[in-house]
Chain A
Amino acid sequence: MKAIVNVFLKNGVLDSQGKAVLHALSSHGFESVKDVRVGKQIIIELSETDENVAKEKVAHMCEELLANTVIEDYEIEIQA
Chain B
Amino acid sequence: MKANVKVGIVQFPGTNCEYDTQHAFAALGCETQILWHKEDQISTDTNLVVVAGGFSYGDYLRSGAIAKMSPIMKALKTYANNGGKVLGICNGFQVLTETGLLPGALKRNEGLHFISRHHNLKVISNNNSFLQHCNVAQVLNIPIAHHDGNFYIDPDGLKELYANDQVLLKYTDSEGNIDNPNGSIDSIAGICNKEKNVFGLMPHPERAMESLLGSDDGRRMLEGFLNA
Contact = CB atoms under 8 A, between A and B. Distances in A.
A71 interface: yes
A70 B61 contact: no
B108 A17 contact: yes
Q: How large is the interface on A (under 10, 10 to 19, 20 to 34, 35 or more residues)?
A: 10 to 19
Interface in A43-80: 64-66, 68, 70-71
Interface string A13-50: 11011001000000000000000000000000000000
Interface of B: 61-62, 65-66, 68-69, 97-98, 103-105, 107-112, 150, 152-154, 183
Contact of B108 (A16, A64, A66): A16
B112 A16 contact: yes
Contact of A68 (B66, B105, B153, B183): B105
A70 B108 contact: no
B69 A65 contact: yes
Contact of B107 (A16, A20, A64, A66): A16
Contact of A16 (B65, B66, B105, B109): B109
A66 B105 CA distance: 14
Interface of A: 9, 13-14, 16-17, 20, 64-66, 68, 70-71
A70 B110 contact: no
A70 B112 contact: no
B69 A70 contact: no
Given A16-B107, A17-B112, A20-B112, A70 B183 contact: no
Given A65-B61, A68-B105, A70-B154, 13 more contacts: A9-B107, A13-B152, A14-B110, A14-B183, A16-B107, A16-B108, A16-B109, A64-B69, A65-B65, A66-B61, A68-B62, A70-B103, A70-B153
